[in-house]
Amino acid sequence: MGCSSNVLYKGHATYTMILSVSDLTSLMGARHASPHDLLGMHNCSYQKKRGLVVRVVLQDAAECAVVDPAKQERWPMERLDEAGAFEVFLPRRRKAFHYQLEVKSHRGDLRTIHDPYRFLPTLSEQDLYLFNEGNEHRIYEKLGAHLRTMDGVAGVGFAVWAPNASQVSLLGNFNQWDGRYHPMRSMGASGVWELFVPGLVEGEYYKYQIRDQAGNTQIKTDPYGTHFEAPTNNASIVCDTRKHKWADQAWMDRRREQASQLDRPMSIYEVHLGSWRRNPDEGNRQLTYRELAPQLADYAVELGFTHIEIMPVAEHPFEGSWGYQVTGFFAPTHRFGTPEDFAWFVDHLHQRGIGIILDWVPAHFPRDSFALAQFDGTHLYEHADPRKGAHMDWGTLIFNYGRNEVRCFLIANALAWLDRYHIDGLRVDAVASMLYLDYSRKAGEWVPNQYGGRENLEAIDFLKRTNQLVHEYYPGVMMIAEESTSFPGVSRPVETGGLGFDYKWNMGWMHDTLSYFSKESAHRKWHQNDLTFGMLYQYAENFVTVLSHDEVVHGKASMLFKMGAWHIPEKAANLRALYAHMWMWPGKKLLFMGGEFAQSHEWDYQRSLDWHLCQYPDHAGVRRLVGDLNRLYTQESVLGRNDLNSTGFQWLACYDNEASVIAYLRLNAEHCEMLAVVGHFTPVVRKNYRLSVPRGGMWREVLNTNSEFYGGSGLGNGGGCHTEPVAADGHGQSIALTLPPYATLVFKWSESG
């Protein structure tokens, strides 16, 4: 390091300062881009002598001395600035050593500390190379804030990517949020800024002060932060995400063993944690992760759900976004507890045999000034061109998927949830908005790709790579796409030209089926196609048949009140018929909370579900039915283990629009096991309704949504029907059925009664 001399007057004495006045001014103005060139210990020539210079900037320091613990030597430092800059020249020392600082505060307190500027970087050149290349898949272990031990000294290492910043400082309670005291080291062309601060511990609040090339500063939270303070301060919090001692090894082993078994029973209960259930005895407060886990586990086990899908729990400031506008991508929200509490939540559910699917949001992020938007004064994470970087519908920003470091951030984020919290699946939100450059845009509002097309090639490549890496690192973890268009191969392997997801939400089935059931019965005969059209594309993807949260908000009405009938009992009967049809139709299952007991109100994220409704027969009956449907679905191999097999479905009757009846078979490959499903969606009773069946024998009625147990009238088929030698629809035998109003019936074949 070069040295220059400047005379600094201190009271009645003079001291020839080694540091230049310009460097001191830049350093104490938090403007110096290379603080480690000035601070810490360096070789230096001073007054024709060779030695070491030590320079520090300390808050609340009246005096400071450099101490060599090994040789028990001590050198008082000269004060350069009232704000706390000190330096000292050690003329007889040539080799750097591990020194400490003895600091006396203005109050007279004496403390011995380690200097942050004597430590080497916490990131290697290889780490930075792979990050800039987009291939450091565990960059979440390098960037962010991490408890580390350097040279035997415990502290916290901080690292942040801000390539266009002119200077970055660490802020926190430990320096009274003053950017002069912990300026960070630039790691050169990597764009990463780094600092190890000895003595800091878990629980420290921090942010980054980032100065752009024009000299303007902004305060940002950590993109890789793992825990956050509540709004409005939103500070990042140093957190050890490895504290929880997991006890779910049996679950994890079983998950790995099932990695190749895509066609297995999967019935998902979709939950918004903040409004599933609240504590009315304590001001209707939200439950914590540790309170929710046993209650949700009990409920899911009772009703037979195999998985719980939680709407996004990544940190977000606005509750009305339901978690879909994320500002802390690596942090479980503070609303329900700590990251350790969230790990406990997942662990408990695993031990109860329930899988956890997490909604993941890589499609966009909000414009909040404290988070990712214009992070280093430039469009870093988002595209600069609003035709590519601004989301028209949600007022949010779109990630720049073509930038290596942004892609690395997102891929690492997916992997971090699986690594740190043992998540069993990621349901990727708003995939359609990622796939198309013209999504929700008019002509002139979007930029074609390099070939002149509308596909977002960079986003497509990102999705493929993410799915490949998830499956490589975590066999058995499911990747599920919420994709609302007919983009080909969403749930097909990347190797065969697909996007690599395991499953795709069946949005078309949901739209058409709800459209049908919302109509009054007299009009349904004109819309039979709504029930049958979906089979034309059913096996084009690995579908999850869904009735999600999006269908019960914004004036769309609850599931119960969507039904095209006037009175609650009729609405409940329609809903029961719909649910049975849904569970029998091919595809994995997903139902949003409240739907299982026919919630009356639309979903409101600010209040609990209407659990009191479960005391009434119409609501209790729907709840009982959902439990029985889950049990039938998981126990009958022709259902839960035969959803993706195109030979496992046959129409029996899809043409009888006058009676509003559909009927179909679910069967195994050998056709030795089969269920006949009959849906009747008018208010009349149809007796002696003849249905062609492929096998003679007994067809036992295993489910009837009109059962008194579910709130119906009890009219049915007396437990089942024997076939009669009456030919119909190409089969030599048939059964004569009684079809109750608004009911779905399921019959299981056996060769004899």
Catalytic residues: 429, 482
Report the C-alpha gap between 55 and 71 in whole angstroms: 20
8 Å CB contact between 721 and 747: yes
Q: Quick one: tokens of 690?
A: 């003849």
Report the C-alpha gap between 152 and 683 in whole angstroms: 78
Q: Could you tell me which residues are beta bridge partners of residue 147?
A: 156
Q: Could you tell me which residues are beta bridge partners of residue 228?
A: 236
Report the C-alpha gap between 52 and 750 in whole angstroms: 92
Report the C-alpha gap between 205 and 126 in whole angstroms: 29
Q: Is 149 exposed, middle or buried (0-12, 13-18, 19+ CB in 10 A)?
A: exposed
Report the C-alpha gap between 170 and 145 in whole angstroms: 11
Q: Is 10 helix (H, G, I), strand (E, B) or coil?
A: strand
45: left (phi over 0), alpha (psi -120 to 50) or beta: beta
8 Å CB contact between 433 and 388: no
Report the C-alpha gap between 596 and 41 in whole angstroms: 67
Q: In sequence order, what are the residues at sequence separation of 6 or more whose Cβ sits closer than 8 angstroms to the Cβ of residue 239?
A: 145, 202, 203, 226, 227, 331, 338, 339
Q: What single-letter amino acid sits at 353?
A: G
669: left (phi over 0), alpha (psi -120 to 50) or beta: alpha
Strand ranges for 617-697 from DSSP E: 649-653, 661-667, 674-680, 686-693
Q: Quick one: tokens of 16?
A: 């020839």
Distance, CA of 72 to chain centre = 53
Report the C-alpha gap between 328 and 136 in whole angstroms: 20
Beta strands 205-211 and 236-237 are antiparallel
Which alpha helices (DSSP H) does 431-567 contain, by range? 431-435, 457-473, 507-517, 521-524, 529-532, 559-562
How many Å is the maximal CA-CA distance in the chain?
120
8 Å CB contact between 132 and 405: yes
Report the C-alpha gap between 752 and 693 in whole angstroms: 15
Please tell me the total number of residues recorded for the chain in this structure: 753
Q: Is 220 exposed, middle or buried (0-12, 13-18, 19+ CB in 10 A)?
A: buried
Which uninterrupted H or E stretch holds 583?
Answer: helix 568-584
CA neighbor of 651 nearest in space, from 643, 640, 662 = 662
Report the C-alpha gap between 182 and 571 in whole angstroms: 64
| Number of CB atoms found within 10 A of residue 564's CB | 18
* Owner of token pair 């408890």: 147
8 Å CB contact between 653 and 679: no
